[in-house]
């Protein structure tokens, strides 16, 4: 199968060559071999896309909801029709096994577009509050910067609500995983979205990030990625007081309460952490179990880890970080229960075995820093209140997990966690509910109506509603 062409940019409704670019390769992490070229652009390319979005904003911001819904439905149909092709591109660019890439990875695009369509069909952009009219209006030109771990998911959670809100945009996907975004751009073009409303460029943060996040014609930046990069983006955007929405890192804790089915809780937690090779910001990577059940938890975790069948780490740099974190944890005194840093014989890509560590204490690096790989750390507690304190003792606050037979107690513990999301007894994500975190896990929310409203400004029109006589 021919992979999408990432040497072209989509700007102002046209496929075009970059103004100035250097060539690089998209690498398949399963083999560590290049699979497609990519043209990494410059500040000039970013500005060209931003100005196209600015020119398109007046008309698009005043477009009818009916028109936006029609175009969103056409994009949704295109995503569904090309789902396997998108999945194959994702598999090639970031290593997800074909089954995962074609299902959860590629399927997340239609999922989020469908939810935005559902929201938009009944959303009220204005409402009366006494004699004041409250209007919600599109914020303007938006820069959308997305990562490599769930590429289509993160693109869809930004592009769909931005289009629905009436915003225009410049999308810069990760230069490590750009291919699925090219397919989306083709679908958007075929759907008939007006020129300049959606623009696609490729490049690194070093080459075009400052322009994309600091340009005076950009009104909002929506970024998903590392906390370090999010801080830099926030600082740059602050110079022109832009709205900044950040979905950043996590170090989520799983609390297995004393009355929980420990085998089920540990097995589910390990398999959930290893999903997508551990490369999910909301993964439960700290597994807190009662101290008197540690050996039972270790046995269950070892069995679960050995049963996991995962793909490689998505790129060479991240592979090196994951291996270094495992080695560092062992050097600090952690016990290796399963997996480890050694590569299996005959492996040529960036594979890391599902790894379980025990004897992990809250001060260890692996308990405090995001690994972003298939690594889970078992920690112990003596009381539920201590477990809550350990879980909250983190600069991050994205997600949390609680397992317990007493739902009222599980709910109390969930309410005590300083995180933007909590899963109780294995409950899954809900695309209508807000996704985002507290503290250094970011600000703002994505998904559903909350994601739409990130792209809307609020205006009070005093006297905009006639008083009752």
How many other C-beta atoms can be found within 10 angstroms of the C-beta atom of residue 153?
26
- Whole-angstrom distance between the N-terminal and C-terminal Cα of the chain? 69
In the set 142, 167, 273, 281, the catalytic residue is 281
> Cα-atom radius of gyration of the chain, to the nearest Å?
23
Active site residue 369: no
What residues pair up with 443 in beta bridges, in sequence order? 246
Cβ pair 136, 167 in contact under 8 A? no
* Cα–Cα separations (whole angstroms), residue 181 to 8, 93, 150, 174: 12, 11, 11, 9
Write the DSSP symbol of residue 193: P
> What DSSP string describes 339-357?
EESPPPTT--S---EEEEE
Q: Tokens 């229960």 appear where? A: 337
In the set 47, 93, 115, 247, the catalytic residue is 247
The residues, ordered by sequence, that sit 6+ positions from 469 with a Cβ below 8 Å of its Cβ are: none
Residues in the chain: 469
Closest CA to 161 of 459, 441, 445, 398: 445
CA distance 119 to 453: 11
CA distance 22 to 38: 8
Active site residue 308: no
Cβ pair 404, 425 in contact under 8 A? yes
Strand 335-340 relative to strand 353-358: parallel, antiparallel, unpaired? antiparallel
Supply the residues annotated as catalytic.
Answer: 247, 281
């Amino acid at each position: 199968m021919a992979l999408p062409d990432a040497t072209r940019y989509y700007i102002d409704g046209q496929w075009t060559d970059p103004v100035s670019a250097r060539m690089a390769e998209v690498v398949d992490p399963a083999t560590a071999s290049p699979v497609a070229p990519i043209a990494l652009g410059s500040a000039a390319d970013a500005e060209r896309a931003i100005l196209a979005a600015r020119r398109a904003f007046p008309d698009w911001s005043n477009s009818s909801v009916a028109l936006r819904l029609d175009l969103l439905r056409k994009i949704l149909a295109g995503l569904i029709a090309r789902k396997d092709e998108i999945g194959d591109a994702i598999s090639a660019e970031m290593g997800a096994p074909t089954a995962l890439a074609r299902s959860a990875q590629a399927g997340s695009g239609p999922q989020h577009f469908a939810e935005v369509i559902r929201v938009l069909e009944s959303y009220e952009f204005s409402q009366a509050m006494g004699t004041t009219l409250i209007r919600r209006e599109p914020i303007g030109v938006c820069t959308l910067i997305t990562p490599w771990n769930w590429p289509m998911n993160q693109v869809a959670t930004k592009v769909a609500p931005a289009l629905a809100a009436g915003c225009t945009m410049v999308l810069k996907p990760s230069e490590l995983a750009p291919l699925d975004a090219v397919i989306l751009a083709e679908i958007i073009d075929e759907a008939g979205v007006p020129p300049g409303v959606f623009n696609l460029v490729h490049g690194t943060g070093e080459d075009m990030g400052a322009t994309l996040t600091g340009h005076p014609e950009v009104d909002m930046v929506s970024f998903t990625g590392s906390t370090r990069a999010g801080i830099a983006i926030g600082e740059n955007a602050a110079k022109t007081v832009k709205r900044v929405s950040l979905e950043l890192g996590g170090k989520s804790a799983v609390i297995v309460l004393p009355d929980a089915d420990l085998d089920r809780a540990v097995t589910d937690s390990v398999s959930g952490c290893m999903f997508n090779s551990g490369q999910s910001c909301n993964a439960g990577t700290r597994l807190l179990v009662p101290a008197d059940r540690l050996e039972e938890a270790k046995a269950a975790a070892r069995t679960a880890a050995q049963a996991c069948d995962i793909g490689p780490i998505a790129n060479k740099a991240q592979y090196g970080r994951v291996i270094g974190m495992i080695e560092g944890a062992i050097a600090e005194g952690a016990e290796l229960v399963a997996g480890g840093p050694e590569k299996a014989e005959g492996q040529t890509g960036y594979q890391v075995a599902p790894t379980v560590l025990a004897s992990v204490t809250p001060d260890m690096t692996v308990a405090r820093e995001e690994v972003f790989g298939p690594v889970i750390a078992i920690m112990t507690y003596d009381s539920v209140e201590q477990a809550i304190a350990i879980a909250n003792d983190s600069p991050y606050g994205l997600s949390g997990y609680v397992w317990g037979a007493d739902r009222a107690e599980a709910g109390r513990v969930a309410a005590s966690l300083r995180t933007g999301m909590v899963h109780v007894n294995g409950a899954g994500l809900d695309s209508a509910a807000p996704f985002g975190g507290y503290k250094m896990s970011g600000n703002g929310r994505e998904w559903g109506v909350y994601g739409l409203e990130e792209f809307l400004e609020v205006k009070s029109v005093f006297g905009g509603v006639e008083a009752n006589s």
